[in-house]
Amino acid sequence: MTDNKNTKNASSIWGGRFDGGVSSVMERINASIDFDRELYRQDIAGSKAHAAMLVKTGIISQDDGDAIAQGLDQIADEISQGQFEFSAALEDIHMNIETRLAELTGDAAKRLHTARSRNDQVATDLRLWVRDAIDQIDADIKALQASLVDQAETHAATVMPGYTHLQTAQPVTVGHHLLAYVEMLGRDRSRFADARTRLNESPLGAAALAGTSFPIDRDMTAKTLGFSHAMRNSMDAVSDRDFAVEFLFNASLTAIHLSRLAEELVLWSSDRFGFITLSDEFSTGSSIMPQKRNPDAAELVRAKPGRITGSLIALMTILKGLPMTYGKDLQEDKEPVFDAAEHVMIALAATTGMMRDLTFQPDAMREALMHGFATATDLADWMVRVLNLPFRQAHHATGAIVALAEKKSCRLDELTLADMQSVLPEITNDVFDVLTVDHSVASRTSLGGTAPQLVEKAVKAARKQFDL
């Protein structure tokens, strides 16, 4: 049961308009301090920039500005050291800090909110927080790219099956396979960088929605906080959450890419594949089956897109019907952003750890290439190149030879020349030179191909392109 009793007093923040108290339920649904305390560093930075601007423009005195700055520094220390007492009655991080500031500095604190609103304050805080999160995520993605490139360099010539439809398709190198993820992650970094550029404009000074009559300097606060410029429209400044949606989309797509890699790690570490061994640090056991070695870290990374894309959908749904400008609905923007950031970061850290510590099993991967006729395309290409057959005719003849090998339960290179000539008499003994997996990967020298020498060049190019 929920207690619906009224609290004794209306909020000291806005209580001058109200005679009675609010319901305890209203107090609970209205309070955001349990999660928006995450913004304290950004809120203090924004308040210090705003106070400095108020001093410079003559709106408040230098003494008040100094007292505010010193008080905010003390509050930052109290929060970081776990000595700050948060109050749900004060609703949010902004009023918790402002109330404590008043205890420390008296009337000076009451001048801080001149020429601003919680509307532009929270919009500024969240932009600063997302900007910081993007910087951290970029560093995390870069670390994962580095671990992938290191493994790719080590295994530039290590052969493995390449798959389509999860069926053996053609031989590739491990290095080439891993570099595909480096490219994916590079696009993720690019999207985050683009989003950072778009979000890097300052709402501070837009006030509630219409700007202010005080002679503020929005360019000054924007520069102090590292923004490229102040937002041009005050209504857009307080209502826009496009930057948060972009952040969540980028986090979702990054999580999806990590999930794809995680699924391969799950498959490759299974008994049926045996392509890799995950380290003890990223494996778990079973409570009942002592022989088990479970890829739980990879499985959890595989699951992360569920909650991260859920955060994206949640925020888009919150925004879809909001009229201009600010509605309390926007209080619900923070938890999805905070949650998604936390979980994409842990997924990146876990994936980096797994990639750094895992061991590839070259013999198992080569053995897997002995099944599934992985060099069939090489056979068809030989017919085109040497016998001058049209590719479709070569494709048909190769299919018939594969069927023959399947009937004889042998590999293509285990067929006799007579077997092959029974399908296509023009075939010569030279054909066997192209049926090895090593020849197959070495022959793929077109731009972006899997040939080991290309992989080695691609590793060097990736290190340069992504600053690894």
DSSP 84-125: ----GGG-SHHHHHHHHHHHHHTHHHHTTTTT--HHHHHHHH
CB 266 within 8 A of CB 298: yes
Instruction: Please give the single-letter amino acid code of residue 359.
Output: T
Element (H, E) at 356: helix 334-357
Please, what sign has the CA dihedral across residues 354, 357, 359, 360? positive
Is the omega angle on the peptide bond into residue 416 within 30 degrees of 0, that is, cis? no
CA-CA distance, 67 to 460, in Å (whole number)?
Answer: 54
Using alpha carbons, select from 225, 194, 245 the residue that is nearest to residue 121. 225
Which residue has tokens 């601003």?
Answer: 116
CA atoms within 13 A on the CB side of 359: 8
231 token code pair: 């937002």
Instruction: Please give the single-letter amino acid code of residue 121.
Output: Q
CA-CA distance, 362 to 173, in Å (whole number)?
Answer: 10
Which residue has tokens 């042998």?
Answer: 410
What residues form DSSP beta bridges with 163? Answer: 168
Which residue has tokens 């490219």?
Answer: 183
Residues noted as catalytic: 165, 286
Instruction: Please give the single-letter amino acid code of residue 215.
Output: P
Q: How many CB atoms lie within 10 A of CB 416?
A: 10
140-170 residues labelled b (16+ CB within 10 A) or e (exposed)? bbbbbbbbbbbbbbebbbbbbbbbeeeebbb
Query: How distant is the alpha carbon of residue 405 from its chain centre?
Result: 46
DSSP 244-265: HHHHHHHHHHHHHHHHHHHHHH
**CA angle at 72 for the pair 71 and 75, rounded to the nearest 5°:** 90
Q: Which residues contact 34 (CB under 8 A, 6 or more apart)?
A: 88
CB 343 within 8 A of CB 255: yes
What residues form DSSP beta bridges with 164? Answer: 167
